[in-house]
Structure 1
């Protein structure tokens, strides 16, 4: 294998990172589609999401935790709704 350095402009890198972050595509899928290495794309994503200072870092952590908790709450609410419906099916009113 020969040494092959690809140079990508900032616009290309930004577009690739957006596919991962905003379109919820995997790094491996985007890298394969664009013909770039996964490690390179992973570095671009990390660089674009790396907080600049402690306050920003803490805010990013809290946002990630908030997103996780909202997802857990949605799942719990879905479970409750399913259980309510199943109880309604199996418990018949007695006359």
Structure 2
């Protein structure tokens, strides 16, 4: 819910404030009027987004998902062509 209530700019500024200050996340959240767990999740998400391993993993996952969609589409096309070939072979008497 917190990701829709606050703008991306506000979230980024809040995360930067947490990182640049020596204050605990709960205190920064209280000062900003944000739930401390929401702010903690924003910080975790920012850390994951900056981690090159996570970025590579998400790129890999996206590529795998794209390839799986493509395989399903090609299998569907192949099945349609197989049925069409069978139909036309029956029509022509092959």
TM-score (norm 1): 0.47
Which of the pair is proportionally richer in helix?
2
TM-score, normalising length: structure 2: 0.48
